[in-house]
């Protein structure tokens, strides 16, 4: 799992916790009760001798716990259990889908404390003794603590060196979800480099002055986050979207596996390169030869970049053939890619 996927996972859990506002707000208030009672009881430990203050502090701590009754009784039981079930199901879903998730302990601890909180709530419904009340506010405190750790972890893995990004640059994030070998990963990096270079030539931009700026690269499931010339990066994203839509559409609607053709007319019909350049204010009437040459190069680069990718995330938008077809697409595109490379040689 890349840190991109980890980030999305954590964000989903955090949003799910907080969208259940009734649950989360009560948890925060009960956590405050725990802090108040704990502080009072801790203070008694600092008092020596037979001091009447100790009894007063104990009494205030007990009163604080009793205050929790008025708080948790504000929740209609049906609403409480509905929100609990929603939270537990979300945590279980991600826990089962991402067994190797680097933040798995966070998810497991939140799930355990939510379950314990639910059990403590049920006990308090039947008997509001101090033991049950203390267990309820303690679990609320733990949910708050682990929720804060989750938010901190999310912020940590999302930190990037923004000083690398110039004000006139644009960023592009590409996530390739299929497992990637080292040679495949290098091929994808090199194909994007060539794609960027080709577009720099078309736009008459000096690539040495405005090179690709690497923000983050991760392998396994591959994540490439880069920055570069705003016009070139935006066009890159647009072309990649057009290419992946074509590849996936052919497979899902026509049942065919094929690469982007290398013939100029076919590439133009798929990528609409001329129209996109004109939309950028360029006079393409005198660029026909350059555009034709670039179209063939872009076809090769996009094929290399997107081969064997049933699912691609481009700037947080996912393009997929569908979960039920991913494995078949992956297997058949690998065969086609090998055949194409053999024919090239």
CA 51, chain centre distance (Å): 56
Residue 280 scores a pLDDT above 50:
yes
Residue 43: the pLDDT is 59
Q: What percentage of residues in the chain have a pLDDT greater than 90?
A: 17
List strand residue ranges (DSSP E) for the chain, in order: 169-176, 213-218, 222-229, 311-314, 317-320
pLDDT digits (tens, 9 = 90+) for 120-169: 888 888 888 888 888 888 888 988 888 887 777 777 666 654 546 777 88
Euclidean distance between the first and the last CA atom of the chain, given in angstroms as a whole number: 35
Q: What percentage of residues in the chain have a pLDDT greater than 70?
A: 83
Spatial separation of the C-alpha atoms in residues 294 and 198, rounded to whole Å: 6
CA 283, chain centre distance (Å): 40
Spatial separation of the C-alpha atoms in residues 8 and 154, rounded to whole Å: 9
* Among 26-30, 240-244, 272-276, 328-332, the least confident range: 328-332
Q: Are 172 and 195 in contact (CB under 8 A)?
A: no
Spatial separation of the C-alpha atoms in residues 39 and 34, rounded to whole Å: 8
Residue spans of the domains in the chain: they are 3-157, 163-344
* Among 104-108, 122-126, 248-252, the least confident range: 104-108
Instruction: Locate 102 and state its tokens.
Output: 């680097």
Higher-pLDDT residue of 68 and 157 is: 68
DSSP state at residue 261: P
Instruction: Locate 95 and state its tokens.
Output: 């826990």
- Closest by CA position to 330, among listed 315, 311, 344, 310: 310
DSSP, collapsed to helix, strand or coil, labels residue 174 as strand
Q: pTM above the 0.85 mark?
A: no
Place 82 in a pLDDT band, splitting at 50, 70 and 90.
Answer: confident
Place 29 in a pLDDT band, splitting at 50, 70 and 90.
Answer: confident
- Closest by CA position to 5, among listed 252, 186, 225: 225
Residue 163: the pLDDT is 47
CA atoms within 13 A of residue 62's CA, in its CB half-sphere: 8
Place 255 in a pLDDT band, splitting at 50, 70 and 90.
Answer: low
Instruction: Locate 180 and state its tokens.
Output: 């990637």
Calculate the average pLDDT of the chain: 80
Q: Are 295 and 267 in contact (CB under 8 A)?
A: yes
pLDDT digits (tens, 9 = 90+) for 164-174: 677 788 999 99
Spatial separation of the C-alpha atoms in residues 173 and 302, rounded to whole Å: 16
pLDDT digits (tens, 9 = 90+) for 211-225: 998 888 877 678 888
* Among 126-135, 259-268, 332-341, the least confident range: 332-341
Residue 20: the pLDDT is 79
Burial of 259 (0-12, 13-18, 19+ CB in 10 A): buried
- What average pLDDT does range 255-275 have in this prediction? 80
Spatial separation of the C-alpha atoms in residues 225 and 235, rounded to whole Å: 16
**Cβ-proximal residues to 3 (8 Å cutoff; 6+ apart), any chain:** 157, 216, 218, 223
User: In Å, what is the CA distance from 25 to each residue of 13, 39, 66, 86, 122?
Assistant: 16, 21, 18, 16, 18
Instruction: Locate 243 and state its tokens.
Output: 């290419």
H or E element in which residue 144 lies: helix 130-157
């Amino acid at each position: 799992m890349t840190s991109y996927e980890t980030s999305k996972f954590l964000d989903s859990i955090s949003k799910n916790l907080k969208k259940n506002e009734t649950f989360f707000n009560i948890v925060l208030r009960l956590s405050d009760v725990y802090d108040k009672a704990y502080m009072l009881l801790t203070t008694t430990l600092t008092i020596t001798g037979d001091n009447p203050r100790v009894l007063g502090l104990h009494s205030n701590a007990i009163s604080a716990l009793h205050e929790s009754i008025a708080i948790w009784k504000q929740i209609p039981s049906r609403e409480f259990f509905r929100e609990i079930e929603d939270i537990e199901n979300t945590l279980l879903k991600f826990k089962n889908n991402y067994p190797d998730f680097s933040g798995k302990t966070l998810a497991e601890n939140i799930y355990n404390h939510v379950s314990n909180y639910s059990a403590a709530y049920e006990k308090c419904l039947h008997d509001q003794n101090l033991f049950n009340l203390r267990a309820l506010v303690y679990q609320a405190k733990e949910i708050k603590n682990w929720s804060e750790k989750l938010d901190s972890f999310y912020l940590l893995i999302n930190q990037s060196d923004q000083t690398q990004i110039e004000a006139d640059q644009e960023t592009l994030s590409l996530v390739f979800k299929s497992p990637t070998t080292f040679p495949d990963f290098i091929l994808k990096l090199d194909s994007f480099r060539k794609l960027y270079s080709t577009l720099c030539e078309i736009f008459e931009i000096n690539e040495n002055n405005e090179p690709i700026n690497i923000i983050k690269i991760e392998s396994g499931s591959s994540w490439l986050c880069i920055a570069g010339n705003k016009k070139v990066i935006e066009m890159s994203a647009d072309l990649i979207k057009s290419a992946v839509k074509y590849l996936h559409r052919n497979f899902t609607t026509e049942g065919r596996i094929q690469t982007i053709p290398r013939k100029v007319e076919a590439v133009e019909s798929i990528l609409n390169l001329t129209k996109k350049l004109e939309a950028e204010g360029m006079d393409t009437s005198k660029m026909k030869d350059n555009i034709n040459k670039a179209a063939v190069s872009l076809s090769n680069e996009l094929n290399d970049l997107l081969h064997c990718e049933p699912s691609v995330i481009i700037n947080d938008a996912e393009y997929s053939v569908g979960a039920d077809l991913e494995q078949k697409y992956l297997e058949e595109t690998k065969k086609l890619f090998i055949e194409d490379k053999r024919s090239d040689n």
